[in-house]
Amino acid sequence: MSEHERIDASARTDPSAVPDLDATFTVFYRTTVKPLFGFLLMQGATPLDAGDIVQDTMIKLYERWHSVECHNAWAYRVASKALVRKIAAVREHPVAELPMASTLLRDSGIDRWMELHDLAAPMTHLPARQRQVMAWTLSGFTPGEIAKELDMTADSVRAALCKARRSLKAWRESREGQQ
């Protein structure tokens, strides 16, 4: 059980045992922001977009902290939906210079995380729904939890996950055949 889950559990049993909102949220933020950032990258977000979405999600969660039952699932769901809206509304505007990198990338270990997770590159070749389901799975959610968060059936989640795994395996085998 993570620190924020332990705090949430104690709040339900003994409200006087709850630390103040800032302390509770700080623990949650520190343990969640980097995995959430990686989760969005796995779904095809750019590092800049992922950083913006993570920060916006955390602000919204802070404002609703006491009314949200499962903070982790809520954050992943809201961030995932924000990314879908962002991708659907993309309008490219070429620029001469690249914007500054997200502060979440500075000394965050994301580069190392991407190296260790060889799925990041091949996942960009998956259809959006398969990429989304795979990202939720790699973030530790079960098919039942994913189905609930994405308003799908558990069988649909499993089918998308099976197709994604099959596609990733074929991609890996094709790369190995080229070497």
Encode pLDDT of 53-98 as tens digits: 999 999 999 999 999 999 999 999 999 999 999 888 866 666 666 5
Are 130 and 50 within one domain?
no
The span from the CA of 132 to the CA of 150, in Å, is: 9
Are 132 and 166 within one domain?
yes
Predicted confidence at residue 116, as pLDDT, reads 45
Q: Domain with 34 in it: what CATH number?
A: 1.10.1740
Residue 140 in domain: yes
Q: Which residue has the higher pLDDT, 3 or 162?
A: 162
Q: Answer whether residue 16 shows pLDDT above 70.
A: no
What the block records as the tokens of 14 is 């003994």
Last residue of a domain, one of 107, 136, 170: 107
Predicted confidence at residue 4, as pLDDT, reads 47
* Neighbouring residues of 131: CB distance < 8 A, sequence distance ≥ 6: 42, 43, 44, 123, 124, 164
Predicted confidence at residue 179, as pLDDT, reads 67
Residue 112 in domain: no
The span from the CA of 113 to the CA of 109, in Å, is: 6
Residue 74 in domain: yes
Cβ–Cβ < 8 Å for 129, 160? yes
Residue 125 in domain: yes
Predicted confidence at residue 9, as pLDDT, reads 53
Give me the residue label for tokens 């343990």.
31
Last residue of a domain, one of 83, 107, 131: 107
Q: Which residue has the higher pLDDT, 169 or 9?
A: 169
CA distances from 49 to 27, 115, 162 (A): 24, 20, 28
Predicted confidence at residue 173, as pLDDT, reads 84
Tally the residues of the chain: 179
- Domain count along the chain: 2
What the block records as the tokens of 102 is 């997200």
What the block records as the tokens of 123 is 């996942």
Residue span of the structural domain in which 29 resides: 1-107
Choose the most confident range, by mean pLDDT, from 8-17, 34-43, 83-92, 101-110. Answer: 34-43
Predicted confidence at residue 82, as pLDDT, reads 95
Are 4 and 60 within one domain?
yes
Are 81 and 143 within one domain?
no
CA distances from 93 to 46, 89, 96, 100 (A): 15, 13, 10, 16
Q: Domain with 158 in it: what CATH number?
A: 1.10.10.10
Encode pLDDT of 87-121 as tens digits: 888 666 666 665 655 555 555 555 545 554 566 67
Q: Which residue has the higher pLDDT, 97 or 33?
A: 33
Predicted confidence at residue 175, as pLDDT, reads 79
Are 72 and 51 within one domain?
yes
The model's pTM: 0.65
Are 87 and 128 within one domain?
no
Are 94 and 127 within one domain?
no
Cβ–Cβ < 8 Å for 69, 77? no
Last residue of a domain, one of 70, 85, 107: 107
Encode pLDDT of 138-177 as tens digits: 888 999 999 999 999 999 999 999 999 898 888 888 877 7
Which of 43, 44, 35 has its CA nearest to residue 113? 35
Which of 101, 90, 141, 112 has its CA nearest to residue 38? 112
